Chains A and B, each alone.
Chain A
Amino acid sequence: MRDRIVSLRRHVLARHLFLALVGLLVVVVVVESVSDYRNTQLASMAYLGIAAGGLTVLTGINGQISLGHGALMAIGAYTSALLLPDRDATVPLTVVVLAAVAVTLVVGAAVGLAAARLHGPYLAGATLALAVAVPGIALYFKETLGGEQGLRVVMPDIPVWVLDAVFFVTGQDLTRSRFTAYVGWLTLIVVFLLLANLSAGRTGRRWRAVRDDEVSAELAGIDLGRARVSAFMVSAAAAGAAGAILAFTVKLAAPSAFTLTLSLTLLAAIVLGGLGSLAGALIGAALLTFLPSVVTDIGRNAGLSDIQAAELAPLVYGLVMVAVILLAPTGIVGSLRSGLQRARSRRRTTSPTTTSKGTAS
């Protein structure tokens, strides 16, 4: 029995590693074959995806809601900006990302400790306050954090061995925006691998147990506070990495990038994709990145002015978000999954139908 469990767990890890490898291949092919503009979009999708992945673990698997992930991204982005002030900065990007993660982890621990006592609307309100409060800090400490203008992020030169390696593999020269896209997607793959393993293992089972029934979880010997705080810290760390990638992509850390809208947008992403599934987070991030231009074009063709058409995108995903909660609370991935399950059980008429779980409750 024990052997079988062990082999099964190895199996999970092997599956995740395999998926990561396939993901890496897809990333290389896509990044190499699209234009610089699309690569910048891909980098944006990467940071939205990383943050949404962290948030979906927190909200979908642990049942805590956070509207403060935009603020946590801001902390990651400002950390990166402080480490990359000019061209002479010799800090490698890996170290920058790790530093952003470390700082956000500490902040996340503090927020998580406070949040562990709260639930539902209280938690939403408190993290909402966090999202509104953090940009003010950047405005107040004008000298170090650049005030309204923000801090410029200067990307260091691409290391020569990376240039050589990429040229060796693809036969093309590596442009800067391609490099950023690679950094973003490599980070995303690493973060998702870690998140997937964590939530498939013992830690993830604890998080789910706490989400589903506090009393039973506590009776089973799970420390509620510890489970909640650890989920928040992991989620915050992902947001920190996302902030670093955001800083690399837009080359600026400014308060205007981290408004309440960003936090709400992340929430929209995970609700659209389906709470608790990393694939859903990625789908949500893709929608957030590529839907706006499509919707804007439709709006412009329908006779709206450019400015009005640009505002259509948030309207659309807000509407979809409301519709998802009302009609399909498990999101895109969840609905597909339960649809598949239903189809399967129809084929094997003997097997009992397993109803999929609703939204995190």
Chain B
Amino acid sequence: MQQFFNTALTGLTLGMVYAAFALALVLIWRSTRIVNFAQAPMAMLTTFVALVVIDAGYSYWLGFVAALVSGLVLGAVIERVVIRPVEGKAEINAVILTLGLFIVLHGLAAVIFGNRYRSFPAPFGLEGLTVGGTTIALNGFGVFTIVSVLVVMGLLVALFRYTDVGLRMRASAFNQEVARLLGVKVGAMLTLGWALASVVGSLAGLLIAGGSLVHPSYMDSVVVFGFVAAVLGGLDSPLGAVVGGLILGVSLSFVSGYVGSQLVALAALVILMLVLTLKPGGLFAQAPERRV
């Protein structure tokens, strides 16, 4: 029973991270109809930025902020310079482009920061918390993970629902032509969308890295999990991405705990195929519409 409970808890914590990553993918998909496979190395690169700041003797929090800010800049620059020319073109070109970026950022990180494992600090204890005399599989950093993802989601909801900029971003995502006619600077909104998504992705990267090892390819499997989570939620819905992330996190945690951690990625593949075959629009799809 205790193992069951702990596996579920670990899954929920991981699920929060996958949810954040899926959210980053969904934000970009909604505005530009591109799945940004380069999200993983982008997050990896910003995590390395944090590591450099922390290794230089500054506090974890300065590194944390540095990573998020560099994520913001990186996302905006990549959208403006590389992605803009293929927006609205054949979708396979955009897919290949993000994969090319994947290789570039990977190589860049390996050249600058070295192709080896480095440990990344965590700001809170990694000892399991004690509840009623038993230690549970949730530590201080896990609590921080859950809280920070929730805070970011709250901020995003507030941005999209209550601010002028958020409204404009929603308008550009909904219909570029009409938004442009109404005086929205669609280009700037798309850049902002990519920048925000990149910040959320960086957060996911930092949360995965905390108390663990970083390496140029440490996010590679996370992009798969984030994608599966986003597809679970329908790829179009931020709320769906969060629920999808949690479902995926818990399921994968059970596979890892009861079957074997080597088969986690295979389980993700099976879940993805099941969703795409049975409910291609995601778990919450209502309108029967061809997407896949």
- Report the interface size for chain B: residues with CB under 8 A from the other chain: 52
Tell whether A129 pairs with B82 under 8 Å between CB atoms, given A120-B91, A267-B96, A317-B103: no
Decide if B34 touches A121 in the complex (CB within 8 Å). yes
Q: Is the CB of B104 within 8 A of A325?
A: no
Residues A136 and B231 in contact, CB atoms below 8 Å apart: no
Residues of A within 8 A of B221 (CB): 132
Q: In the complex, which residue of chain B has the Cβ closest to the Cβ of A305?
A: B114
Q: Which residues of A contact B90 (CB under 8 A)?
A: 358-361
Interface residues of A in 177-221 (CB under 8 A from B): none
Which one of A122, A128, A261 contacts B292 once the chains associate, using CB atoms below 8 Å? A122
B106 lies within 8 A of chain A by Cβ = yes
What are the residues of chain B within 8 A of A315 when measuring CB–CB? 103-104, 107-108, 110-111
Whose C-beta in chain A lies nearest to the C-beta of B109?
A311
| Residue B272 interfacial (CB < 8 Å) | yes
Interface residue B6 (Cβ < 8 Å from any Cβ of A): no
Question: Which of A118, A137, A264, A268 contacts B266, CB < 8 Å?
Answer: A137
B158 near A: Cβ within 8 Å?
A: no
Measured in the bound complex, the distance between the Cα atoms of B37 and A67 in whole Å is 11
Q: Which residue of B lies closest to A118 (CB)?
A: B292
The answer to whether A65 touches B107, judged by C-beta atoms less than 8 angstroms apart, is no
Say which residue of A119, A120, A133 sits within 8 Å of B265 (CB atoms). A133
For the complex, give the distance between the alpha carbons of A325 and B94 in Å.
Answer: 9
Q: A259-B217, A318-B104, A360-B92 are in contact. Are A117 and B276 (CB under 8 A)?
A: yes
Report whether B272 and A321 are in contact in the complex, using a CB–CB cutoff of 8 Å. no
User: Which residue of chain B is the closest to A142 with respect to CB atoms?
Assistant: B262
A132-B265, A315-B107, A317-B103 known; A126+B272 contact, CB < 8 A: yes
A321 touching B227 in the complex, CB below 8 Å, given contacts A136-B263, A259-B217, A358-B90: no
Q: A65-B92, A125-B231, A259-B217 are in contact. Are A322 and B265 (CB under 8 A)?
A: no
Closest chain A residue, CB of each to CB of B267: A133
Q: Nearest Cβ distance between residue B219 and chain A, in whole angstroms?
A: 11
**For chain A, which range describes its interface: under 10, 10 to 19, 20 to 34, or 35 or more residues?**
35 or more
B269 at the interface (CB under 8 A from A): yes
**B222, chain A: closest CB distance, angstroms:** 10
Min distance, Cβ B32 to any Cβ of chain A, angstroms: 11
The binding surface of chain B is classed by DSSP as helix
Q: Total contacts A to B, CB within 8 angstroms?
A: 163
Complex CA–CA separation, A261 to B111 (angstroms):
16
Complex alpha-carbon distance, A136 and B259, angstroms? 12
Residues in B260-279 with C-beta less than 8 Å from chain A: 260, 262-266, 268-269, 272-273, 276-277
Name A304's contact: one of B111, B260, B268, B280 (CB within 8 Å): B111
Q: Find residues 84-133 in chain B having any chain A CB closer than 8 Å to their own CB.
A: 85-86, 90-97, 99-108, 110-111, 114-115
A312 within 8 A of B: yes
| A319 in the interface (beta carbon within 8 A) | yes
Contact B265 A129 (CB under 8 A): yes
Closest residue on chain A to residue B90 by CB atoms: A361
**Chain A residues in 8 Å Cβ range of B99:** 67, 124, 264, 267, 321
Among candidates B114, B217, B228, B262, residue contacting A136 with C-beta atoms closer than 8 Å? B262
Give the residues in chain A near B110, CB-CB below 8 Å. Answer: 308, 311, 314-315
The chain B residues found within 8 Å of chain A, CB to CB, are 29, 34-35, 37, 82, 85-86, 90-97, 99-108, 110-111, 114-115, 217, 220-221, 223-224, 227-228, 231, 260, 262-266, 268-269, 272-273, 276-277, 280, 291-292
Q: A136-B266, A319-B100 are in contact. List 14 more A-B contacts (CB 8 A).
A: A65-B95, A120-B91, A129-B265, A129-B272, A132-B269, A133-B268, A136-B263, A140-B263, A261-B106, A264-B103, A314-B107, A326-B82, A359-B96, A360-B92
16 contacts between A and B (CB under 8 A): A118-B276, A121-B34, A121-B94, A122-B292, A129-B227, A129-B228, A129-B268, A133-B265, A133-B269, A140-B262, A268-B103, A311-B111, A315-B104, A318-B100, A319-B104, A321-B104
Return the 5 tightest CB-CB contacts between A and B, nearest first.
A315-B107, A318-B103, A361-B90, A318-B104, A321-B100
